[in-house]
Structure 1
């Protein structure tokens, strides 16, 4: 098996591979187009010869990155949630395709991807007002790398060019957690609104937005004081759908006595409200619902929370999801074991909990060191006595 290169124009090369047809034994040639220096073209020629000998050779094709991404998006449609698929499609078609869509897939090189990321950071916004945030470009990289990884599995590509590209560094978003005093003020501010119960479940139980909007009264066990978190709601362009929780597992959350008392009062008020409409409240009704008992959309919850919070002149402007962070931070700061925090929050592993709330751990370590020190000193004193 042989191969050689031929210069077509400055910086443009033809790589010609001499092969034998395994069925007929006749000689045939395969042509590859390459852009780069002569040395790089020679290396690419050698790589292709090695790939053919090792059975890893991929036939050159004219499919563009844009066409392949469409094919890949259709492939993953049944493998991910509808909301995730919408996000994947948006990133692929509105961010990646304008930069790389016309490139031939089999000719895509790491330097092209790096250049596309650099351009996105400077002028990637679709409205033409500037560049994308590093986090957005990082999401682009994650999607492109996943798609090209599938191309390798399908033997469309010999290797994934995105593996050789480093996405921009993303600084972790600083979470804003409310302290106990701020939490009390928050609850007082929302008490006379329909958003009081969602806020209560956020700061006292750490529930996610979708878990709040999905919860039905059958999930509330007043006898034992527990919540059963078994499902969540997701808002897509097609409407609202019920799905499993984020971790894929259900969990039981112990209710503080304050939450039990408020939920009892809320259920009684809701029953009276529905009765005026000629409807009897059942365990199948949603805990957080509209006046006529219909469920609330997750996006509507967020908008209403933001609107009511803005009426306060003293409370910090936090997101609804920050109530969950506040619950976690207050638990850990008060000595609750991280494993218990993980179970209440519904994280799939304790590593996620420790990673997200590592900023709370230094104070916990100091407290632990002080307790160990006190216990050991007491033992030493008893031994000396």
Structure 2
């Protein structure tokens, strides 16, 4: 859409006695097009004419776009995003566009969108944004949706479909900080005792002593594991496995397992293994290979597999983990809580926040400190108490 042209404006009264303003619009094809303004006073119309002529003369005029936000998001997702996005992100974007945006703010034309409209939309989603009608949209999901909208409308601005991005100055509502759930030292000991000899023993131990995310844990392959029982052992986080909504009509299931690269470069990392964990992992590998040969399973390079030798499904892992906790009378904390437990123990043991941040794959030390403020606050109090000896 052209932004070029000088524009001529005129103001007069029409046959009905109304003040009317007229501006000739810039045109790439040479055809004359005009925009009209109406108002109760000459000044009201003159201000509108002056604003438009100023935009035309400064090359900032953008012809009002008739495409709706929903239509643009669908086009943007398929043409500009799909080739680059991880499947999990693509599926999430589809959900935001078709389930959250389509029948609400998605009905507005791009030319009608304002910061105020987005602010109102975000405020409403924070209060009543869940698809099941049971309260506000998850804070992380709302932020991810906002980031998606911002990217899509930046693209629209770059393509001269809009003058500016209306999401830039919209403010996401503040949520009460969610309580972080992790195992206490005693609960962790109880859990480690309960998993001895269980099929989930090794994946739970790896999660507890490396802090990997569930998708990283289940996506771990032996080729990314280095075991040196006389030296340094480590794992490399290179792939993830997640179950996502199926978007392929040729596949008859609602969800599919997807292998991806980690979301960010920070997430692709090397994590050292404690000697005892490395030894147990080596024993686990030998036992896994023995069972594979005994049962005739085809070779599978995944470290953690199901009873049939295939990749361990996240859905099955979560179910069996939950049942294990219940069976042993251990407080229910989700799989991600194993990661929080690792981080909490690491800080309690004196690991520096910078080192922990790298191990966890966080984008910054600041994010790590903010996430685990409950631990650092306790440690600060304990260390300050040590100053008493100087009084």
TM-score (norm 1): 0.81
**SS of match in other structure, 1:50:** helix
User: 2:305 matched to 1:289?
Assistant: yes
Alignment of 1:109-258 (within 5 A): 109-121=114-126, 124-127=129-132, 129-133=133-137, 135=139, 136-218=141-223, 219-223=225-229, 224-235=231-242, 236=244, 237=246, 239-248=256-265, 250-258=268-276
Structure 1 residues 134-190: Cα deviation after superposition (integer angstroms, max 9, x where no partner): 624444333222221221121110011222422322233221121221111112223
**SS of match in other structure, 2:295:** coil
Comparing 213-222 with 86-95, greater Cα deviation is found at 213-222
**SS of match in other structure, 1:254:** strand
Gaps of 5+ in 1: 378-385
CA distance, structure 2, for counterparts of residue 15 and residue 124 of structure 1: 42
2:280 — aligned with what? 262
**SS of match in other structure, 2:167:** helix
CA distance, structure 1, for counterparts of residue 170 and residue 291 of structure 2: 58
Contact 2:27–2:33 (CA under 8 A) maintained in structure 1 = no
Contact 2:219–2:259 (CA under 8 A) maintained in structure 1 = yes
Comparing 294-303 with 180-189, greater Cα deviation is found at 294-303
Structure 1's 66 and 369: CA in aligned 2 closer, same or farther, altered over 3 A?
same
Structure 1 residues 307-365: Cα deviation after superposition (integer angstroms, max 9, x where no partner): 3323333x222111111111111111221111221232222332222221122222333
Contact 1:92–1:144 (CA under 8 A) maintained in structure 2 = no
1:73 — aligned with what? 77
Structure 1's 120 and 364: CA in aligned 2 closer, same or farther, altered over 3 A?
closer
Q: What count of residue pairs does the alignment treat as equivalent?
A: 365
**SS of match in other structure, 1:317:** coil
CA distance, structure 2, for counterparts of residue 78 and residue 171 of structure 1: 36
Comparing 356-365 with 109-118, greater Cα deviation is found at 109-118
Structure 1's 247 and 39: CA in aligned 2 closer, same or farther, altered over 3 A?
farther
Contact 2:68–2:106 (CA under 8 A) maintained in structure 1 = yes
CA distance, structure 1, for counterparts of residue 208 and residue 219 of structure 2: 17
TM-score (norm 2): 0.80
Comparing 203-212 with 361-370, greater Cα deviation is found at 361-370
Structure 2 counterpart of 1:50, from 49, 54, 57? 54
CA distance, structure 2, for counterparts of residue 38 and residue 305 of structure 1: 73
Structure 1 residues 110-144: Cα deviation after superposition (integer angstroms, max 9, x where no partner): 333334344445654444x4543362444433322
Structure 1's 125 and 246: CA in aligned 2 closer, same or farther, altered over 3 A?
closer
Structure 1 residues 206-262: Cα deviation after superposition (integer angstroms, max 9, x where no partner): 111122112223314133342222322233326334333344254332222332343
CA distance, structure 1, for counterparts of residue 38 and residue 382 of structure 2: 63
Structure 2 counterpart of 1:62, from 59, 66, 84? 66
Gaps of 5+ in 2: 1-6, 249-255
Contact 2:226–2:234 (CA under 8 A) maintained in structure 1 = yes
- The Cα shift of 1:200 comes to 0.6
**SS of match in other structure, 1:161:** coil
